[in-house]
Amino acid sequence: MTIHRTLVATLAVTALAATIARAEPPKAAVFDFQFANVGAQPPTQADYDRLGPLSDQLRSLLQESGRYTIVSTDPVKGEVEKGSDLRRCNGCADEYARKLGADVAITAEVQKVSNLILNINVYVKDLRVNEQEKSYSVDIRGDNDVSFDRGLKYLVKNSLPQP
């Protein structure tokens, strides 16, 4: 009888583990990076040109990590562009994400303190639970593609929550 109970318990645990392993990652709306200019030097055109590829890289890194299934933000892109800054719009990113059927809203910004000191900030809000968004940041040195690439990879690998 004890062997039978042990076998049943083992099978139940195995089935539960298999169900958890098959669970789909949450759907995330990852919005394009924006600038939060807090320094004396405003962003240059090269800085603005870097935001699109940086946004695409964040989406790719998150998708490849298995943390999220990325949903396209294209259906609300026009609304986002006409609206105010996603970090200062009283939850508009959450509403856009819900319209897209996402479970998580992810916004991001670059703070340019100077041509040498910049911050990459990523904000994650789980819309399925009633919690405040979580923020993640990495400081980079150097206003160039290599610094941004390394900084974003470091942030995703070492700071953002794992699945």
Q: Which domains does the chain have, with CATH numbers?
A: 25-158 (3.40.50)
Predicted TM-score of the model (pTM): 0.83
pLDDT at 22: 56
Residue 85 gets which letter from DSSP? Answer: -
pLDDT at 88: 85
pLDDT at 19: 44
Picking from 151, 54, 64, 62, the residue whose alpha carbon sits closest to that of residue 108 is 54
Contact, 97 vs 29, CB < 8 A? yes
pLDDT at 128: 95
pLDDT at 3: 64
pLDDT less than 50: residues of the chain: 7-8, 11-13, 15-20
pLDDT at 4: 52
At 78, list the tokens. Answer: 């026009």
Q: Helix or strand or coil: residue 63?
A: helix
pLDDT at 5: 60
pLDDT at 162: 72
Strands 117-126 and 104-112: antiparallel
- Report d(CA 27, CA 72) in Å as an integer: 10
pLDDT at 1: 56
